[in-house]
Structure 1
């Protein structure tokens, strides 16, 4: 016969959810930082092809 499992406390659920949410926060902050450095031109981990304005005219 199946026996029901014990209920997880609310505190443990909140801790797990906060850890999960914090992972998303770090990934978005890293992505935003990388996008900012690419737009400014200070990126050291990506090589972006620079377009000269003279060649476009």
Structure 2
């Protein structure tokens, strides 16, 4: 799984961690998860999580 969290300059590390943990709760405990965060000033006040999932059976 690949997770990208995008938010405005007001996005906190807590929000990034909360989003990543929410995905972890839904997938196999042995899943390999890679995540990153990106700041986009146009996203001020919002957070978007994009998830790329492969190998789902």
User: What's the TM-score once normalised by structure 1's chain length?
Assistant: 0.29
Higher strand share: 2
Q: Which has the higher contact order (CA 8 A, sep 6+)?
A: 2
Higher helix share: 1
User: What's the TM-score once normalised by structure 2's chain length?
Assistant: 0.29
